[in-house]
Amino acid sequence: MQKYNKFYFKSFEFNQDSLKASFHYSFDNDEFFEEVIDFHSEIWELRGDLDAEIIDNILFHIHIALWISYYKLCPTNELVVESWILDDYQVKFWKKFYINWLWEFLYTNKISPEWLFDFKINTEKKYIKKEFDIKDKYLVPVWWWKDSIVSIELLKNKNLDLCVFWTNDELKSDTAKIAWRQIVLIKRKLSENLFKLNNKWYYNWHVPITWLIAFVLELVMYLYNYKYTILSNERSANYWNTTWKWLTINHQYSKSLEFEKDFWEYVWIYISNKIKYFSLLRWLYETKIAEKFSSVGKKYFSSFSSCNWNFKILNKLSYIKSQKRWCNTCPKCIFVFTILRPYITKKEVLEIFWEDLFERKDLEKIFKELLWISWIKPLECVWESEEMIYSMYLSIRDHYKTLPYILEIFKKEVLNKLKEADINKIEKKLDRIYEDDIIPSEIKQIVI
């Protein structure tokens, strides 16, 4: 693997006819990358007063966000920005998020963070923030996960002006069709040079896609006149996985309330104080979302998934082919199975997962990791151990006369060590509704 000294943010362009944006990066002006995002929609109505200066301003922030997919190939000390000037506040903002965003990657690959993220500004171009009017419409980014479905159902029942947004692939189409929502695909094409270098054993790791989408959505909202972007991130996304050096590692950092608040403040200062980005489900733990999904989401049981492995990008945005929506071996599959099990029947278990994962002896290690009784919390989008404990307790209480292998282990190593008061305390915590100021009052009164 060749080492590089500098990473360059080269330039970006936007074609107002095709609505395609191109973003350019480089290592040492030797290896080059071009990423293209297609913002065209045949369904949504494009605003008639497009302003090139507003578009360029938003594109610059997208440019600074998208780089991570390429930078992680070979982390360098210097970051040379040639597309626009960053002021001191922005440098501080981006350094904080780069560190939190990449901490898991650095930890896993044992790369020292002390010498990274030294910004060099090599341009005299300055951003121009121009305020703009925006319509009072609601945009819900939808994946094929249960959380997005709960948000859609909560909002749909209130007859709000709601559309569904997704990126990259058509795996979400079944969800959108069942929800009877408009379907818009914002297409992202990664640089082919990224896959070329991956094949040469350069570094590769998980990219927190939520952050990228947050910035891409700012342009979507401007182009198509949407005031609200409503995410479906839950309360337990705030909790860390492990610690390393001077920071905690949170696999879900870009879904956390801390990120949400900082991002909103950044957008307010540099893009617009009209558009709003927040999570509708921040006031709930995953166990409560699972309970809601089990009642409002039955029609989605055969189409939803939370498995990353079955939909993993292989190359050039092709995906692992699988007839199943669940691999039933990764931490996400196991966690979702566990928190759903108290609220669904045996028949529904088989409809969704094809099998009872509590009977799988080979999954003992992952269950123990999710319960935090061995190693660390898995570096995945999974949640608090108390949610696992309470869900497994409910499954024993309500569904099993003869305990399967995993629940026997759980009863012996966890449940038998807890008192009734401990269970009551966990139940009280998970049932509590947390109201955060970041949820606009006009939305809060609808769902809380």
Whole-angstrom CA distances from 191 to 36, 131, 157, 206, 425 are 8, 32, 41, 17, 50
> In this predicted structure, what is the pLDDT of residue 423?
95
Taking Cα atoms as reference points, which of 31, 33, 39 lies closest to residue 12? 33
pTM: 0.86
Alpha helices by DSSP H, listed for 67-172, are 68-71, 88-109, 146-156
Q: Under CATH, which architecture does the 6-279 domain have?
A: 3-Layer(aba) Sandwich (3.40)
> In this predicted structure, what is the pLDDT of residue 202?
82
**Residue 191 pLDDT level (bands cut at 50, 70, 90):** very high
Under a CB-based contact definition with an 8 Å cutoff, are residues 139 and 163 in contact? yes
- Write the pLDDT tens digit of every residue in 140-159: 887 667 788 888 888 876 65
Determine the Cα–Cα distance for residues 298 and 345; give it in Å rounded to an integer. 11
Determine the Cα–Cα distance for residues 60 and 71; give it in Å rounded to an integer. 17
Phi (first) and psi of residue 432, to 5 degrees: -70, 140
Judged against a pLDDT cut of 80, whether residue 35 lies above it is answered with yes
> In this predicted structure, what is the pLDDT of residue 316?
43
Per-chain mean pLDDT for the chain: 83
> In this predicted structure, what is the pLDDT of residue 163?
62
> In this predicted structure, what is the pLDDT of residue 415?
95
Phi (first) and psi of residue 96, to 5 degrees: -60, -45
> Percent of the chain, pLDDT > 90?
41
Domain residue extents for the chain: 6-279, 305-417
- Write the pLDDT tens digit of every residue in 104-142: 787 777 777 777 889 999 999 888 899 999 998 888 887
- Mean pLDDT is lowest, of 166-175, 180-189, 421-430, for 166-175
Q: Hunting for tokens 């590769």 — which residue is that?
A: 204
Under a CB-based contact definition with an 8 Å cutoff, are residues 205 and 104 in contact? yes
> In this predicted structure, what is the pLDDT of residue 438?
65
> In this predicted structure, what is the pLDDT of residue 315?
44
Under a CB-based contact definition with an 8 Å cutoff, are residues 22 and 187 in contact? no
> In this predicted structure, what is the pLDDT of residue 180?
63
Under a CB-based contact definition with an 8 Å cutoff, are residues 82 and 9 in contact? yes
Q: What is the mean pLDDT of residues 65-76?
A: 90
> In this predicted structure, what is the pLDDT of residue 168?
40
Which H or E run contains 229? strand 228-231
Determine the Cα–Cα distance for residues 392 and 396; give it in Å rounded to an integer. 6
Q: What is the mean pLDDT of residues 384-389?
A: 85
- Write the pLDDT tens digit of every residue in 36-47: 999 998 888 899
Judged against a pLDDT cut of 90, whether residue 51 lies above it is answered with yes
> In this predicted structure, what is the pLDDT of residue 3?
87
